[in-house]
Each structure stands twice: as structure tokens, then as C-alpha cells.
Structure 1
Amino acid sequence: MSVTVRQLAEWVRGEVLGDGDLAVEDARTLTDARAGDITFVDGEKHAAAWHASPAAAAVAPPSIPVNGRPLIRVADPLLAFAEIVRHLRGRAPLPAGEIHPTALVHPTARLGEGVSVGPFAVIGEDSEIGAGSVLSSGVVVGRGCRIGAGSVLHPRVVLYDDCVLGDRVVIHANAVIGADGFGYRTQAGRHVKVPQLGWVEIENDVEIGASSTVDRGTFGPTRIGTGTKIDNLVMVGHNCQIGRHNILAAQVGVAGSSVTGEYVVMAGQVGVADHLRVGDRTIIAAKSGVLSDVAADMRVLGYPARPDSHMKRVWVLLDHLPDWRRDLKRVKEHLGLGDE
């Protein structure tokens, strides 16, 4: 697909500097760009790579000077470049309103205008799908579910009964929403399952990554707040209340009945024990284990997770332990105390 720099600038509402009529064949990053491509320069630290690149044009911030090749100036080059790639390479979505003949839609299910349902998808009794939503191949929507407008469920997503999704929710392949929480009581030497009779509520503009799981509540909802983004391979336990605009990176695990505030960030492989509270805007570093409540506006790391300033001092001291042990051994030998 060949388009001009000016056309690309119109797509992203950018300012053209240089030859706007130059034709562009494809969009690639600076490391992969070839002659005839457009690339993007994400800040001054990449300016030298842009000057050395064979790319025909670039999307760049105002700080990047013109070097004889066309520039499209925008405030956020990364997002603008992503939009250009989407235009140049995007595949057509499922035709709006098309229900594949192999899909199984219960007669009591209600589908809004323009809902698309892919091959072998299943929509259960009394479920409702909002206008313009897309259910890809193999999606299973249980009984009594509610899905808002413009939501996208990628292949083989499973929604157990009574799940509630807001508008513009995106759930990636193989994610499972609403499975039973992990709750047992020991009676007479046996693990007896506590019935999981609640549901899951996912608010507007949430995105959940591939193979992630969100368990239903025991009696009420497990809730994911508006705008929260959950990476692949994340587990959210039953009764959790995840706040608005959280970021949960890969392999995070949040145990049951924990609560997070707004704009909380959990880096990869963070573990949060059950029945804890994490305050607004807290950042938890990768591989940290949270074993107690964390106040708002904290940065914590380590196991158990503690304020990062404290843990950094601890780690500096740990580096000196071998030297201190050697010095202590010499002192004990000098005093005739041995090495016991």
C-alpha cells in the first residue's frame, strides 16, 4: 500500500515538514527501516539513529530537527506511528453484524446492533451483548452475562455465568473470567469447597491479557476498575477489588479479597497476599512479595516488600557482608576466640 507523507499526517493530525508528496510503502522501526519506509523517532536520544537510517521519512516530536527528509511532527510519535501501522497493515475486522453459521446463540440472548460473532462461539441463555462488540472464534459467554458496547473478546475467551463487562473492554485469547475462587474449609480431614456464588464486574475501558484469570466472588463481585490494564498470565483472586487505572504486569498474582486504590502499578511477578489494601498511586517493583497493607504514594520492593529507599540500603549492606565476615574472623582469631 503506497500513500504520501501528507496522507499519513492527516491520519495522525500531524504537521508535515518537507516533501508531503513523497510516497511511503511501509512503516518500520528505526532498526528495521528500509528505503521507502516511514519510521518514528521517540525523542532526542534516537536522533543519531534517525540520521543514519535509510528511511524515507519519520514521525517525530518537535525537538527533532529537519535533515532533508520529510518529518511528521506530533506530540507523541509512538502512538502516532502505531496509528500509521494500523492503517497500513490493518486487517479488516469481522463484518459488522455477521453471525457465523457455526456459532451457537441461545434464543433468549440479546445482541445489539452490529455485533459480530465468530466461528464456534457460544452465547448462553439470557446474555446481552452491546452494540458493535466482537466475539471471536471459540468464545464462550455463559448464562446471564452482560457485555457493553464496543467490547472485543479474542479467540477462546471464556466468561462464566453472570459476568458483567462494561463498554470497550478488550479481553485477549484464552483468558478466563468468572471461574470459581480458590476457597476451601478443612472438615473431618477433608478439603471441602466453599461455594463460589458471586460474579465478576469489569468496568469500562479495561484490557485483560492472554491466559489471565479473574475469579468470581464468593457471594458478591470481584471487580476490575475503569481503565485498568492487565497483562498476560495474571491472576486476580476472588472478591478482589482492583481500582481504577491500575497496571498489572505479567505473572502478577493478587490473592483473594485484596483491594487496590487508583493508579497502582504492579511490575512483573509481584505477589499480593490475601485481604490486603494497597493505596492509590503505589508502585510495587518486580518480584516483590506484599505481605502487609501498603499506604498511598509508596514505592516498595523486595520480599517482604518494604519502602524502596530502605531496601536499597539493605542491598548495599548485603554486598559488604563477605568483607565484614572476613574482618570479624580476623578479629576473633586475634583475640583467640576461634571461629565458632
Structure 2
Amino acid sequence: MNVTVRQLAEWVRGEVLGDPELAITNARTLSEAEPGDITFVESERNLHAWHNSRASAAVVPASVPVNGRPVIRVADPLMAFADIVRHLRARPEETPRDISPGAHVHPTAKLAPGVSVGPLAVIGEGSELGENCTVHAGAIIGRFCKIGRDAIIYPHVVLYDDCVLGDRVILHAGAVIGADGFGYRTANGKHHKVPQLGWVELEDDVEIGANSTVDRGTFAPTRIGAGTKIDNLVMVGHNCQIGKHNLYCSQSGVAGSCVTGDYVVLAGQAGIADHVTIGDRAMVGAQAGVPADLPGDLHYLGTPAMPVKEMARVFASLRRLPELREELRQLKKRLDAAEGAG
């Protein structure tokens, strides 16, 4: 597709500086761009790469100076560039939405207009899907599930019975929602399973990454709040009550019966012990371990997790341990010598 810089600026509502009629054929990143391409500069940190780039034009923030090539100034270059990429790489319209002959839809299931079900997908007894839902090949939706409109269920997702999904929920390939929680009682030398009789509720605009899991509650729902985004390979245990707009990065884990506020962030491989409460806007750093409640509005690191400033002092002390050990050894040596001389 050939377009001009001016047309691209109209798509993203940006301001053009430089030649607005310059032709653009593709959109690529700074390191990959060639003549005829448009790229993006997210911040002043990328200025050196922009000056060395072969791109013909760029989407930039207001702080980036003009260097002779056309630029489109916008408030958010990354998101504007994503819109441009979507326009330039537009695919043909999808085939009409329908139910694949290879899918199995239970006669009692209710599918609203515009639902698409791929081959080998299964829709269980009594389940309800809202308008324009997409269920990809091989996905399994159990009995009596309720799914809102515009949800996307990617291949090989499994929804156990009774799951409730809001509007625009996205579940990526291999996600498992509603498996039994890890609950056992030990008696007479054996582990006896505690029945898991609850369900899972995912509120509007929740997105769950590939091969992540959310366990059903024991008696009541495990709940994920609206707008929360969960990365690949994340586990959320049974009975958890996750707030709105949380961000959980890959390989983080939340044990059972935890409660998080809104806008909580868990970085990669962070681990939360069971029955822990984390306050609004707390940020838990990579590989941190959280054994107890954390107040909100702070950034935590380490195991056990503690506020960044406090952990920075701990890290500084750890780096000095070899030096302190040598000082202690020399001090002991002098004491021993003094005692011997006495």
C-alpha cells in the first residue's frame, strides 16, 4: 500500500512537519526501517537510533527535533505507530462468521448473532455466548458458562463448567480457566481432596495470556477485576479476588485466597503466598517473594519483599559482606594478638 505522510497523519490525528506528500510504502522499527518506510521514536532516548535510521519518516513526540526528514508529532508515538501498521498491513475481510461443521455445539447452548465457532471446538450444555464472540479451533467451553459480547477464545483454551466472562475478554491459546483449586486435607496419612464447588468470574476487558491458569473457588468465585491483563505462564489460585487493571507478568504466581487492589503490578516470577492482601497501585518487582500483606502505593523488591529504599540498603550491605568479613577477621586477629601479649 502506498500512502503519503499527510494521509498517515490524518489516520493518527498528528501534526506533520516536513514534506506531507512524501510517499510511504511500509512501517518498520528503527533498526529494520528502509527508505520508503515510516518508523517511530518513542522518546529522546531513541534520538541516536533515529538519526542513524534509514527510514524516510517517523512518528515522534513533541520533544523530538526535526532533522530534515518528515515527522508526525503525536502524544503517544507507540500507539499511533501501531495504528499506522494496522492500516498499512490491512488484511482482507474475514469470511462470514459461522459455526464450523466440525464443531460440537450442545443443543441447549445459546449463541447470539455474529458468534463464530471454529472446527473441533466444543460448546457445552446450557452455555451462553454474547454477540460477535469468536471461539477458535479446538477450544472447549464447558457447561453453563456465560460469555459476554466480543470475547475472543483462542485455540485450545479450556473453560471449565460455570465460568462467567464479561465483554471483550480475550483468552490466549492454552489458557485454562476454572480448574480445581489446590485444596487438600491430610488425615490418616493421606491427602484428601477438598471439593472445589465455586467458579471463576472474569470481568470486562480482562486478557489472559497463553498457558496461564485461573482456578475456581472452593465455594464462591475466584474473581479477576475489569481491565486486568495477565501475561503468559501465570497462575492465579483458588478464591483469589484480583482488583481492576492489574498487570501480572510472565511466570508470576498468586496463591489461594489472595486479595489485590486496583492497578497492582507483579513483575516476572514474583510469588505471592496464600491469604495475602496487596494494596492499590503496589508494584512487586521481578522474583520478589511476598509472604505477608503489603500496603499500596509502594514499589517492593526482594524476598521477603520490602520497599525499594529499604531493599537498596540491604543489597548494599550484601555487596559489602566479603569486605566486612575480612575486616572482622583482621579485628579478631588483632584481639587474639593483644590477648596473647597480655
Q: TM-score, normalising length from structure 2? A: 0.95
Alignment of 1:261-340 (within 5 A): 261-336=261-336
Q: Please say if 1:158 is aligned against 2:131.
A: no
Residue matched to 2:183:
183
Tell which deviates more after alignment, 238-247 or 103-112: 103-112
Residue matched to 1:13:
13
Taking the aligned partners of 2:311 and 2:9, their CA distance within structure 1 comes to 47
> Alignment partner of 1:336: what SS?
helix
Taking the aligned partners of 2:118 and 2:87, their CA distance within structure 1 comes to 23
Question: C-alpha displacement at 1:108, in angstroms?
Answer: 1.2
Question: C-alpha displacement at 1:90, in angstroms?
Answer: 4.2
Residue matched to 1:248:
248
Q: Please say if 1:95 is aligned against 2:95.
A: yes
Tell which deviates more after alignment, 211-220 or 101-110: 101-110
- The letter of the residue matching 2:165 is L
Identical counterparts, % of pairs: 63
Taking the aligned partners of 2:9 and 2:132, their CA distance within structure 1 comes to 28
Residue matched to 2:60:
60
Supply the RMSD in Å over aligned alpha carbons: 1.6
Taking the aligned partners of 2:189 and 2:78, their CA distance within structure 1 comes to 58
Q: Do the aligned partners of 1:97 and 1:113 also contact (CA within 8 Å) in 2?
A: no
Q: Do the aligned partners of 1:231 and 1:248 also contact (CA within 8 Å) in 2?
A: yes
Q: Report the count of equivalent residues.
A: 338
Taking the aligned partners of 1:6 and 1:30, their CA distance within structure 2 comes to 20
Taking the aligned partners of 2:146 and 2:165, their CA distance within structure 1 comes to 6
Structure 1: which 5+ runs fail to align?
Answer: none
Taking the aligned partners of 2:126 and 2:223, their CA distance within structure 1 comes to 22
Distance 1:139 1:94, change over 3 A: farther
- The letter of the residue matching 2:295 is A
Q: Please say if 1:127 is aligned against 2:127.
A: yes
Residue matched to 2:216:
216
Question: C-alpha displacement at 1:96, in angstroms?
Answer: 4.8
Taking the aligned partners of 2:82 and 2:118, their CA distance within structure 1 comes to 26
Q: Do the aligned partners of 1:247 and 1:264 also contact (CA within 8 Å) in 2?
A: yes
Residue matched to 2:194:
194
- The letter of the residue matching 1:99 is I
Question: C-alpha displacement at 1:18, in angstroms?
Answer: 2.7
1:257-313 residue CA offsets vs partner (Å, 9 max, x unmatched):
000001111111010000110011111111011001111212211111112211110
Question: C-alpha displacement at 1:92, in angstroms?
Answer: 4.9
Distance 1:47 1:251, change over 3 A: same
Q: TM-score, normalising length from structure 1? A: 0.95
Residue matched to 2:29:
29
Q: Please say if 1:110 is aligned against 2:106.
A: no
Tell which deviates more after alignment, 308-317 or 222-231: 308-317
Residue matched to 1:147:
147
Structure 2: which 5+ runs fail to align?
Answer: none
Tell which deviates more after alignment, 65-74 or 247-256: 65-74
Question: C-alpha displacement at 1:93, in angstroms?
Answer: 6.6
Residue matched to 2:229:
229
